[in-house]
Chains A and B, each alone.
Chain A
């Protein structure tokens, strides 16, 4: 008797870890022998048991969470809602794909197999505009790319004019090629390149550091360390054509003294981590964190010697599909630190469309800074968007001043129009931002 009680207790402990013990039981059967349909079911196949769940057209690895969820369905009665949840999780995990689900008869009677079919959303050749922005403080920034999407191989070429990301306006052409090696884990090799002409705002004082063009070539390797964690590393060969002869480095060593053409060659490595916590509803919480290191040194033939560290973490929560009835909250933290003398394009910038929105960068840091810390809170309810930024940008020779700003805007079909204000005593001049992806 004691033995039976012990077995019953053990079974209870083992079968009720998540309150789902009932799912381990076979589906109820009608007197005729075939499984019965739950009273509330709207799909007649819910009376059958899941034999297998798999993703077709995908040979790579899946996140552990998704695999666990898929395995959990096997041996249980089919439930449309559970299948829908897994489908939405796959859509999150494969953002470039459309996901279709399909049920087929299993090998055993009254069992069904669940298949998810992935299909690439992107066309073989497409045009994208990753950057469209109008800022009343910094005018237009605009970019367009043409992409060639082949299995495992992607190439793109595009044009960009930008007065938002760096201290200068840069405009010109860029492109990249990459190839995914047929390995189990993602291993990508590629090369990026760009050639930009530069225009300077007259308020910028650092005349000796100005350049009129810069060209870049970046060979890189990207590897998926584990699901959600990607490492990219490579070299960046950067050629600057200075407006006036520059005096950098050690004059005794010669070479770059008074030279108009300088190199800023560096080694770079980027680590990105993304994790999503999904719930039964369409909502999700997403963590996106990254760390970036650029190290330029004379050993790479660089005229500049510096190390640039930057990191960011963004936590986003949303409760449902936007914009129908959705609420989205995002909090992001960024920091940056430069050791040594970096060229102007690598300095940190705030008072643009991403950091300290509402401030005009030419009012407080026209040449950017070598130290940077920033916190941003973003909220969106249906079409309404609110933001709050606080941060500071400084140099060792310049004091830290904590600045704040707030914004209110409307978002529709991916476009946002926002009026952002610096929060300060004295006159407040709002900045109008209109565009996508900010």
Chain B
């Protein structure tokens, strides 16, 4: 085989993964970020408000979304974080407000208003963390983000005004999505915590 032919074959071999990675980067790939002894998800241009749920929001109702962030080592679950965010649309100011419910206390954990549609996803991700204190930093791990809308007919999680039952959240993520329910799952590429932490402290 000539050198020229070999170079052409290698170029094809390299081009395909590069194109795939480029496409993924354009769509946004889930990446871990080391933050205060925990892992936070990073996903460029993350947007999950759409379809029927967005219609409900624009008709003045609040819609709850459950977020699950899982750290896995192969098939083994290492850590998991579950959060519920309740989103509403301000009819007069025409922007969004988000409340992060608390699993331990009746008061919301965090809240924000005056968000544009594009900023809602980023704010929710900023409030997700997976603790990694007891995790081996040399092992190859993967981060999985799952987002599901909460059907309106479920026992209303908002009745207790701000609190959410953790067992209820676990049950929701263990069943398949119902018709009309929003569901999104995305995974990061494999990574090691040591490398991620080193990147975080690099100036």
Contact = CB atoms under 8 A, between A and B. Distances in A.
Interface of A: 37, 39-45, 48, 80-81, 84, 101-105, 109-110, 112, 324
Contacts of A84: 156
Contact of B60 (A40, A81, A102): A102
Contact of A80 (B59, B97, B101, B158): B158
Contacts of B72: none
Interface of B: 59-62, 86, 88-92, 96-97, 99, 101, 106-108, 113, 155-156, 158-159, 161-162
Given A80-B62, A109-B92, 5 more contacts: A44-B88, A80-B61, A102-B59, A103-B60, A103-B91
Given A45-B60, A103-B59, A110 B92 contact: yes
B77 to A, nearest CB: 29
Contact of A40 (B59, B62, B92, B161): B161
Nearest to A101: B61
A41 B161 CA distance: 7
Contacts of A105: 91-92
A84 B159 CA distance: 10
A43 B90 CA distance: 8
- Chain A CB count within 10 A is highest, among B60, B158, B159, for B60
Contacts of B158: 42, 80
Contacts of B107: 39-40
B161 A48 contact: no
5 contacts: A42-B161, A43-B62, A102-B60, A104-B59, A112-B91
Contacts of A81: 159
Contacts of B161: 40-42
Contacts of B90: 44-45
A42 B99 contact: yes
A12 to B, nearest CB: 28
B92 A48 contact: yes
A306 B122 CA distance: 78
Nearest to B162: A40
B114 to A, nearest CB: 9
A48 B91 contact: yes
Contacts of A39: 107
B91 A104 contact: yes
A44 B89 contact: yes
Contacts of B89: 44-45
A93 B102 CA distance: 36
B115 to A, nearest CB: 10
Give 8 nearest A-B pairs by CB, closest first: A103-B60, A44-B97, A43-B62, A40-B161, A42-B86, A102-B59, A43-B88, A44-B88
Nearest to A103: B60
Contacts of B108: 40, 42
A268 B155 CA distance: 45
Contacts of A42: 62, 86, 88, 99, 101, 108, 158, 161-162
Contact of B61 (A40, A43, A109): A43
Which of the listed residues A41, A110, A324 has the most CB atoms from chain B within 10 Å of its own CB? A41
Contacts of B92: 48, 105, 109-110
A267 B106 CA distance: 62
B158 to A, nearest CB: 5
B7 to A, nearest CB: 60
A81 B162 CA distance: 13
